[in-house]
Amino acid sequence: MNLINTFFNMQVLIDSLPQLLRGLVVTLQIGIASIIAGLAGGLFLAIARLYAPSIVRLLIRFYIDIFRSIPLLVLLILVYYALPFVGIRLSPFVSAVTALSLVSAAYTAEIFRAGIEAIPQGQFEASAALGLSNRHTMVDVILPQAVRIVIPPLTNNCINVLKDTALASVVAMPDLLKQATQAQALAANPTPLIGAALIYVLLLWPMVAIVARLEKHFSKGKR
């Protein structure tokens, strides 16, 4: 067998394509759910870390440090395989989304915190002078400016979440990588794995290009 027939067998790729597309749908479902939960959780954690009482800030910092340090694969295995021993049994989908969201929220919290702290103190003082409440200051003045700053790193984080969905295969979730592995076993040919890699590239390459354009755009604005 030569290289083309082994890794780029078009007939095997065509036969496995429906299975790969089903896996892509699952990957997108896991990724989108995790991204939304991570963004919401990260924003809450960032604001709480900056303005909550000191004991709460300490707990949130501990959470962020822990979940930024623990490997996602280890966390996923703990959520799916260890929690049933304490009476908590989650489905593969919920386990994958939970693990990805916990890690994503930790990274997103730091991104939002950096964005909020980048806003000049004068913006807070001007809002107070106008009689705005803390809530209106944050929602109407600070967050719109902070979000503009953190769009590039947030987009980068979303890309990482989508790539990390491949780890969901360890809990028997029929995502893109799992389907590619099964198709490879059925065909006795690694071409489906190459097909899955190409799908990941086609999915994530536009997002990578968007991040590059956003970073270039905002760096011009700073200059």
- pLDDT (average), residues 102-111: 96
Specify the number of domains making up the chain: 1
Whole-number pLDDT of residue 41: 96
Contact 102, 75 (CB under 8 A): yes
Query: pTM score, two decimals?
Result: 0.88
- pLDDT (average), residues 14-20: 93
Task: Name the percent of the chain lying above pLDDT 90.
Answer: 59
pLDDT at 158 over 70: yes
Whole-number pLDDT of residue 7: 86
- pLDDT (average), residues 192-210: 90
Whole-number pLDDT of residue 220: 61
Whole-number pLDDT of residue 218: 65
pLDDT interval class at 84 (50, 70, 90): very high
Tokens of 100: 């990805």
What H or E segment, with its residue span, contains residue 142? none
pLDDT at 29 over 60: yes
- pLDDT (average), residues 45-53: 92
- Of 72-86, 98-112, 147-161, the range with the lowest mean pLDDT is 147-161
**Domain boundaries, position 155:** 3-222
- pLDDT (average), residues 161-177: 89
pLDDT at 223 over 60: no
Whole-number pLDDT of residue 66: 95
- Residue 58: count other Cβ atoms within 10 Å of its Cβ: 12
Mean pLDDT, all residues of the chain: 90
CATH of the domain at 196: 1.10.3720.10
Whole-number pLDDT of residue 43: 94
Q: Which residue has the higher pLDDT, 58 or 220?
A: 58
Query: pLDDT by residue (tens digit) across 212-221?
Result: 787 777 666 5
Contact 7, 194 (CB under 8 A): yes
- Closest Cα to residue 25, out of 154, 170, 173, 160? 173
- pLDDT (average), residues 83-95: 92
Q: Which residue has the tokens 């705005």?
A: 132
